[in-house]
Amino acid sequence: MQTTTEATARSSTRYELPPEGATLLGYIVRRMHKTALLAPVAGLLNAGQSAEALAQIALYAAAASASFGPAYYQPRFDRAGDTAGEPDPATGAMVSARLEASSPHYRVSNAVEMPDGSRFAGVEEVTGTTVGLRGLGMPAPSRFEFTAPDGGYTARVTGIITSELAPALLGPWRIRAYGSLELHDSSGNAGRLTLAREGRTEAHVTAVGGGTVVRHVDLAERR
């Protein structure tokens, strides 16, 4: 089974980094404004399609952790304890982020409260900067949890998503991301998501009753 939801998932760095400027937390909140990817989960669970729901949750986790497009500027740094929040205009979901620590690493907690009562929450920690031929990499070990409104279904997503600043011949550097996430849920489904630098994101879930669910999305801006 394959489903593509490109229209609701692509990153817009002009939205995530608005001309008036943004703090790090403000950028993260807007980066997470792809909650339309979470909207189908409630219906999938109601239909008994938990493996499909897990794949959809994983796609959102990757999308919420990644940007693709021009890096217009570096967001202003926040102080430990600062918070930011803003509803996603596409769904009305409330998205918030908090800087838990700035030393020795930046650690950010985040949460999404969906209108249907479900909750997505996580923590990501930027462990440093790497320098390579492809650009500057900022790996962020992350863990996320999804909880259905009645608490009867939960999902866990863990792994490392690396944000990368890549030089451009003309104009600002570009930001992109890559990595992988491991997927598990309370129904016994398990799987893996991969995110490529080109924006191709695929979630493969092995259903507890047999069979494999594959869902994919393209997160990159196309200009």
Model pLDDT, residue 6: 41
Residue among 66, 54, 57 nearest 39 (CA): 57
The gap between the terminal CA atoms of the chain, to the nearest Å, is: 29
pLDDT value at 129 more than 50: yes
Which listed CATH number (3.30.40, 2.40.160, 2.130.10, 1.10.10) goes with 6-218? 2.40.160
Structure tokens at 4: 């593509």
The tens digit of pLDDT for each residue in 5-27 reads: 443 567 789 999 999 999 999 99
102: three-class secondary structure by DSSP: coil
pLDDT value at 2 more than 50: no
Pairing outcome for strands 94-101 and 106-113 = antiparallel
The tens digit of pLDDT for each residue in 43-82 reads: 999 999 999 999 999 999 999 999 999 999 999 999 999 9
